[in-house]
Amino acid sequence: MSRVLTRFPDHGYLVCNSYTRSADSMPANSDLSSLSVRQLRARRRRLAASLADPQANLEGSLVSQLRRCGKEGCRCTQGELHGPYVYLSISRGADRRLVYVPADLAEAVRQHLTLSEQIEASLAAISAINLELLARRQLD
């Protein structure tokens, strides 16, 4: 979790917490170059077998926001904003949107994002192994 304090006055909200899903970097090829082809294939099999259910994959980041309602005389006009409310932030190219996450589903969404990180990390590791096998002309 990282703290983000960004004001968006025209939208009337303040982003205060960000739970960002990020993929782990691929293992360095130097780590793999010391392994035999047999060891590389065994590692690749283990990684593939340990992959989480792809149906759990969920793209995006969780953000927690405080909002203004816009009603005259409300406490939020004095700076005491409503919330925090949790949203899933989704970005695809220039298209960005927020999907409201009910409080009772926030933990499930966090778990899906964590599983997605694990899936991406495993796939990156498998790709690095395949790249090493290709460099050795042993890709099957």
| Residue 70 confidence (pLDDT) | 84
| Residue 84 confidence (pLDDT) | 92
Question: With 60 as the cut, is the pLDDT of residue 23 above it?
Answer: no
CB 67 within 8 A of CB 16: no
**Among the listed ranges 17-26, 54-63, 70-79, which one has the minimum average pLDDT value?**
17-26
**Count of Cβ atoms closer than 10 Å to residue 86 Cβ:** 21
Question: With 90 as the cut, is the pLDDT of residue 46 above it?
Answer: yes
**Count of Cβ atoms closer than 10 Å to residue 116 Cβ:** 19
* Nearest CA among 67, 36, 54 for reference residue 129: 36
CB 4 within 8 A of CB 16: yes
